[in-house]
Amino acid sequence: MNLAETFRNIFAIPDLRKRIIFTFLLLAVYRLGSHIPTPGVDPVALSEFFKAIGGGVFGFLDLFSGGALSRLSVFALGIMPYISASIILQLLTVVWPYLEKLSKEGEMGRRKINQYTRYATIVLAIIQSLGVAFWLRSQTAPGGAPLVPPHVQDALWGLGFPIMTILTLTTGTAFVMWLGEQISERGIGNGISLIIFAGIVVGLPSATIGTIDDIRTGERGIFAMLFLLIFMLAVVAFVVLMERAQRRIPVQYAKRVVGRKVYGGANTYLPLRVNTAGVIPVIFASSILVIPQTLATMIKAPWAQAIGNQLTMGQPLYYLLQVVGIIFFCYFYTSIVFNPVDTADNMRKYGGFIPGIRPGKRTSEYIDRVLTRITFVGSIYLAAVCILPEFLISGFRVAQLPWFGAQLDAWLPIWFTEGMGLNFYFGGTSLLIVVGVAMDTIQQIESQLVMRHYDGFMKKGRIRGRRG
């Protein structure tokens, strides 16, 4: 059974074929909408402006929107308001008893929380689109041309452009959110994750062609590119290994006699994934870190600019906040998606127990202790994968450290403090998202194939599922 035959089997199953085609069609609609411009903005001045400011905060947001932000299309806000609303609702689930009760009510409670998330997404989209409108009115291209022409700014007593921007961008965000939900329900894979995935990988062909041109013109050495390729392959292999890593806790089920039949007596295990939270902590931490960066960019005060400079790639404060945020959200999200008490109660209900551990409270404490340890390993892995590519690009500006920063800067090699100048198309965050979403989608296709008695992508073993 080769890979080509596996792909033939995918399209031989009518339901799976319809789901995959439906997913590709909706992703195509998303990519088409990313090129529809927002009314009232000068496209030439906008292009010059984004070329001048380069990456940074806007580069990060533009990456998640698939270039829609730099073109200021109707999908410029992308899926970020939905992600921010999800963060807020999940934080409130811990501190608000009403939402905590809803989260424990099963499918009905989950639907209610999803409905609140949609409402919060619209509210955040309105606020963000209003901020974008006023920000655009105050910006000019390097040549001096305003991004919003004067006659557009003065329309309807100065209210026309903000109202049009709010209507356009908020509607675009709501439509993108609807596309993601439709993909999740009627397509294959997680719709929101696939939209982010599509936005990231859409620039891969042009980045590959640009790299080849750089090698051909001599701007980049072939050995440096070869090292970069080997390094990226090694990182991808490491990510796949860690995403599939599990801690298996042995579980035994006691024999039960019901009538003339004997039930139980089996030995199995409870799989605890090293990275239970998936890529969610990375997205959450990056999204929150972008907020002060964005505010510092919009506020022209010296103190705001100083904060913004400290939160740029390569600065110690940037690395510190990113690592702390990833570790925090790893534990936070793991506590939401996995409850050791419920797991222990279900095991005891069906006669299961961990050898050497009493059922009930002791079992839940043991599972919680093991989960806490492996979550720490998973959080360090996520933080390392996110920071390592950024470190190789920009280095670690130890001179910004207080007290002994200048001495360290003089002692350390320049490649450590200034970076190696490598140009990664996939940063750590985008790499985790791309690999994680690809594994999740393949796992769902694998499950569909196996359920219908077809061989999947792997002859020996199955792709272990991902979550988050």
Annotate 228-295 with DSSP letters as a single string.
HHHHHHHHHHHHHHHHH-EEEEEEEE--EEETTEEE---EEEEEEETTTTTTHHHHHHHHHHHHHHHH
Q: Would you list the domain boundaries of the chain? A: 1-202, 245-424
311 DSSP 8-state letter: T
- The reply to whether 245-424 shares the fold of 1-202 is yes
Asked if pLDDT for residue 465 goes beyond 70, the answer is: no
* φ, ψ at 314 (rounded to 5°): 100, -15
pLDDT higher for 71 or 296? Answer: 71
Q: Cα 132–34–437 angle (5° rounding)?
A: 105
| Whole-number pLDDT of residue 260 | 66
Asked if pLDDT for residue 289 goes beyond 60, the answer is: yes
**What is the rounded CA–CA span in Å between residue 432 and residue 440?**
12
CATH topology for the 245-424 domain: Preprotein translocase SecY subunit (1.10.3370)
- Counting other chains too, the contacts that 89-97 makes at CB distance below 8 Å and 24 or more residues apart are 89/113, 89/116, 89/117, 89/120, 90/332, 90/333, 90/336, 91/332, 93/336, 94/332, 94/336
% of the chain beyond a pLDDT of 90: 12
pLDDT one-digit tens code per residue, 173-220: 999 999 998 998 888 888 888 888 888 888 777 777 777 777 788 776
Please check whether the domain covering 1-202 is classified as CATH 1.10.3370.10. yes
What is the mean pLDDT of the segment spanning 70-86? Answer: 84
For the chain, the average pLDDT equals 79
pLDDT higher for 465 or 404? Answer: 404
Answer yes or no: pTM beyond 0.95.
no
* φ, ψ at 281 (rounded to 5°): -60, -35
**What is the rounded CA–CA span in Å between residue 75 and residue 69?**
8
Asked if pLDDT for residue 437 goes beyond 70, the answer is: yes
% of the chain beyond a pLDDT of 70: 79
| Whole-number pLDDT of residue 327 | 92
Asked if pLDDT for residue 5 goes beyond 80, the answer is: no
* Confidence band of 376 (pLDDT split at 50, 70, 90): very high
CA distances from 390 to 259, 322, 336, 387, 417 (A): 64, 12, 30, 5, 12
Structure tokens at 17: 């074929």
Cβ count within 10 A of residue 119:
11
Pick from 27-31, 69-73, 345-349: least confident: 69-73
| Whole-number pLDDT of residue 173 | 92
* Confidence band of 261 (pLDDT split at 50, 70, 90): low
* Confidence band of 466 (pLDDT split at 50, 70, 90): very low
